[in-house]
Amino acid sequence: MHDDTERCVRAVQSKDARFDGWFFTAVLTTGIYCRPSCPVVPPKIENMRFYPSAAAAQQAGFRACKRCRPDASPGSPEWNQRADVVARAMRMIADGVVDRDGVPGLAARLGYSIRQVERQLVAELGAGPLALARAQRAQTARLLIETSTLPMGDVAFAAGFSSIRTFNDTVREVFALTPTRLRERRRPATIPGLLSLRLPFRAPLCPGNLFGHLAATAVPGVEEWRDGSYRRTLRLPHGHGIVALRPLADHVGCRLALTDLRDLTTAISRCRRLLDLDADPVAVDELLRADPVLAPLVDKDPGRRVPRTVDAHEFAVRAVLGQQVSTAAARTHAARLVTARGEPITDPAGGLTHLFPAPADLTSMDLALPQARRTTLTTLVAALAAGEIDLSVGGDWNRARAQLSALPGLGPWTVETIAMRALGDPDAFVPTDLGVRLAARQVGLPVTPAALIGRAAAWQPWRAYAVQYLWATGDHPINRLPA
């Protein structure tokens, strides 16, 4: 979008927050870059320059605006609605792959050479993987500086910097303030070890289906709804964490407790992905509203998101456990796995007890399930533990579908459910789902899978969101916040 100067200028002059994260506006006369909705008086058109990423603006010599904090804007919805190499790379960078494994690790996971990956990222985003990861490290450093009392040396290494000198230079360059001055501007968190963050999103957001779904399907010991917040445990690269997410008017409140602060960037990325916070609800709803059957559903509660997951392997296991059983039965089966094989953790608040077991922890377990489903689950778990199926954030959606479909007992419903909520494909569709079929009958849509797929062609590429609106026609706990 940054190449469409006229459209970008209109967005800046109207302070349209919907475009925050789509592009960044740099101002030649001040040397700063902003989000489109920056509250200051818009600069003259001839002094504006537009960049596709914060990293590109930083590489061009601009520093972040202290008023609108462009580094904290929602991410571009492009990376979660596309399956090409650039989008997959951006999802991996957000998950901390470059910080952990470097650019060679990123390229290896994508199946391309380092040179090819760098060339494609620079062509589309104006910056290579190292610059993009550096911009993300700067954002993580700012969060730790402002929300913790950690010594600056600990902040530097927790944010992923290789040295304190690089940390100091980057913070000064990006924010035009020293780390000490940044900390003086904000009051750190008052609860030791707990980070309090704001997760921004593009309005509107309908919290009912999003948090209602997570709460209604919560696995005891791993997830819970408490005091107006969805809480769960997180398995992270360097340790584990506990997060509490609370829906508020203009952001989602996030309280994180981590055993290793190096996991902060990854934890934030996974929470945003869980809640689908980088979506563009206006674009989604505009297309779905064009269907006269869906229009009343969209108008009633616009801004529905697709509830996703923080752990694709966990969700794949839970999807198989949920085959042909009720929500309550699926929770019961999952809770048994957690009690038997989950890793115990300590929750100061007392409600959470375990991490969901990794596939390797389930390979030798004798599961109390019908024989056919037991075979399906053990085959899936073995394939995941061996790395034969790639469900990672940067994985190829179509290849993952093919790998899942090749396993015994994984039919279209299970595969598309995993594609929707674990892989994050916004066009995943489940025409055989009971809730979808009941909704189709109620609103006058075709009920046979083939006919419904044909009708749903007009909803592409947002069929996963159409499913959320169809599910909303039923009286089920997934559609509302718990009391």
Catalytic residues: 34, 433
Rg value, the chain, Cα: 22
How far, in Å, are 189, 399, 445 from residue 290 at the CA level? 46, 32, 15
Q: How far apart are CA 132 and CA 54, in angstroms?
A: 8
Residue 403 in tokens: 């790998």
